[in-house]
Amino acid sequence: MTHQLKVIERKQLQEKPDPATLGFGTLFTDYMFSMDYDPELGWHDAVILPYQNIELSPAAQVLHYGQAVFEGMKAYRTGDNVRLFRPDENFKRMNKSNARLNMPEVDVDFMVDALTQLVKLEKEWIPTGEGQSLYIRPFIIATEAYLGVRAATHYKLMIILSPVGAYYGSDHLAATKIYVEDEYVRAVRGGVGFAKAAGNYAASLMAQTRATELGYDQVLWLDGVEQRYVEEVGSMNIFFVIDGTVVTPELNGSILPGITRKSIIELAQHLGYTVEERRISIDDVFEASASGTLQEIFGSGTAAVIAPVGSIKYRDQEIEVNDSKVGPITLDLYNHFTAIQNGTEEDPFDWCVKL
C-alpha cells in the first residue's frame, strides 16, 4: 500500500456550471483520483489527475463479469467551510463489498486522506444552494484482460466528482409514489444484495422502468425468498412511523446497509424517538394503514437524504400516507440531519469531517 499521492496538473480548467441548472451525475469536475492494483505491488500509483477517459482492454473482466463495486457520498459547503459526511463509513462498506466480490481491500485511512485532498483541490466546484452538494463516486473495476470466470488479478480504483442538485428535482420534500414489486426480485439472502455490487443495479432496471411507466417514482423491493417482507426502495432504505415508533427493516444480507439509514437510527434515538429494526411484511404496512396507525413513511439515502413517501401501491391496493405530505417526524429528522451535514447545527456524533 503506497501512501504517496502524486498530482498531475490540468492545463485548462473547465467553466463551472450554473448552480441553478444542476441535475444529477452528468457533469464532472476537473480532477479525478486513480489507483491501480496488481498482486505484486498491491494498490499503487495513486494519483490525482485531470478528469479524462480511461483505456480498457475489450477483454477487461469488468465488462464481462461485472466485477465492480462502488460507493456514493457527498461533500457540503457553506462559504469556505467544506464537510464530508462519514467518509470512513463508505470506505469500510466498500471493503465489505470487496470481500463479497473477491476483490482486494483498500486502506480506509489512506482513502479518506486521498479523498480529502481531491475535494480540497475541487472546493470551488461544490455548489452551495439549498439541497446542493458535490456527489463523490469512488469505484473499483476489474481490469485484467481474461475471459475465464474467476476473480481478476488487476483492478483500478477511481474517484470522480459531480456537482449535484436535489436528487428528485427542486422540490426536495415532495412526497414520492412507491410501487411494490411482487414479481421481479433484486436480491436474496446468500446473494450480493448487501454489497454495492455493480450487477445489483442492472438487475433492478426492469422493475424501475415498469414502475415509472405506471406513474410511480420508485420501486419498493420485497425479500427474494417469500416475497412478503419489505426490503428497500431503489437506492434508499425505508422507514415507517407506526404508532409513534420509527420502524425500519433489519439488515438481513440482502438489504444495502445504508449509511444514511444507520445515521438516522442514531439521530432518531438521540432525539428521543423509539426505533425498531425488525422484519416488517408488506401486509403489516397495509394493516397499519387500515387501522390508522401508519403515520409516515420515508426513504433514506445519500442522493436524496430523506424522501417522504406519499403513497404505496401493492397489487390492486393503493394507500396514501399522511395525505401525501411530509410528516412531522420525517421533517424533524430531515431538519436536524441536513443541519448537521451543512454545519449549521452542532454535530453531536462527530459525523462530519471538516476540510
Closest distance to a copy of itself from the beta carbon of 145 (Å): 8
The residue among 131, 120, 89, 134 whose CA lies nearest residue 352 is 89
Residue partners of 309: CB distance under 8 A and separation at least 6 = 175, 176, 177, 178, 233, 238, 297, 298, 299, 321
235, 295, 341, 342: residue in contact with ligand PLP (rule CB under 6 A) = 235
Distance CA(103)–CA(90), nearest Å, equals 16
Asked if 237 touches ligand PLP (CB under 6 A), the answer is yes
Which string of x and - marks every residue 275-314 that binds ligand PLP (by CB under 6 A)?
-------------------------xxx------------
Residue 150: contacted member of a copy of itself, ligand PLP, none (CB under 5 to 8 Å, by partner type):
a copy of itself
Q: How far is the CB of 214 from a copy of itself (least distance, A)?
A: 15
For a copy of itself, what does the binding mask look like between residues 54 and 93, x meaning CB under 8 A? xxxxxx--xxxxxxx-x-----------------------
236 binds, among ligand PLP, a copy of itself, none (CB under 5 to 8 A by kind): ligand PLP
* Residue list 92-151, contact with a copy of itself (CB under 8 A): 100-102, 135, 137, 139, 141, 145-151
| 116 φψ region: left (φ > 0), alpha (ψ -120 to 50), beta (else) | alpha
**Adjacent-strand bridge partners of 160:** 137
Nearer to ligand PLP, 167 or 314 (CB): 167
H/E element, 200: helix 198-202
Q: Which does 301 bind (CB under 5 to 8 A by kind): ligand PLP, a copy of itself, none?
A: ligand PLP
Question: How many amino acids of this chain bind ligand PLP (CB under 6 A)?
Answer: 13
Under rule CB under 8 A, residue 180 binds a copy of itself: no
Contact by Cβ (8 Å): 231, 254: yes
**Where does this chain touch a copy of itself (CB under 8 A) — which range of 13-21, 104-112, 227-235, 270-278?**
227-235
52 backbone dihedrals φ, ψ, rounded to 5°: -160, 165
Q: How far is the CB of 138 from a copy of itself (least distance, A)?
A: 11
- Identify which of residues 163 and 193 has a Cβ nearer to ligand PLP in the complex: 193
Taking CB under 6 A as the rule, does residue 341 contact ligand PLP?
no
Rounded-to-integer distance, Cα 191 and Cα 1, Å: 30
| Rounded-to-integer distance, Cα 129 and Cα 312, Å | 31
Q: Is the dihedral of CA 101, 209, 264, 138 positive or negative?
A: positive
Q: What span, in angstroms and rounded, lies between the C-alpha atoms of 32 and 118?
A: 7
Instruction: Determine, following the binding rule CB under 6 A, whether residue 224 of this chain makes contact with ligand PLP.
Output: no
CB 222 within 8 A of CB 229: yes
The cell numbers describing 143, all together, are 481490469
**Which three three-digit cell numbers place residue 26?**
452528468
Residue 191 CA to residue 224 CA, distance in Å, equals: 10
What is the nearest approach in angstroms of a copy of itself to the Cβ of residue 120? Answer: 20
Amino acid symbol at 114: A
Report how far residue 247's alpha carbon sits from residue 276's, in angstroms, rounded to the nearest whole number.
Answer: 5
For residue 312 the three cell numbers come to 404505496
Task: Give the nearest distance from C-beta 265 to a copy of itself in angstroms.
Answer: 24
CA angle 36, 67, 189 (to 5 degrees): 135
- Binding to a copy of itself (CB under 8 A): which residues in 194-223? 197-206, 208-209
C-alpha cell at 56: 480498457
Q: How far is the CB of 191 from a copy of itself (least distance, A)?
A: 5
Residues 19 to 38: which contact a copy of itself by CB under 8 A? 24-26, 28, 32
**220 grid coordinates:** 419498493
Decide which of a copy of itself, ligand PLP, none touches 232; Cβ closer than 5 to 8 Å per partner kind: ligand PLP
306 forms beta bridges with: 300
Residues near a copy of itself, by CB under 8 A: 24-26, 28, 32, 51-59, 62-68, 70, 100-102, 135, 137, 139, 141, 145-151, 158, 160, 162, 183-186, 188-192, 197-206, 208-209, 224-225, 227, 234-235
Residues near ligand PLP, by CB under 6 A: 72, 232, 235-237, 256, 258-261, 300-302
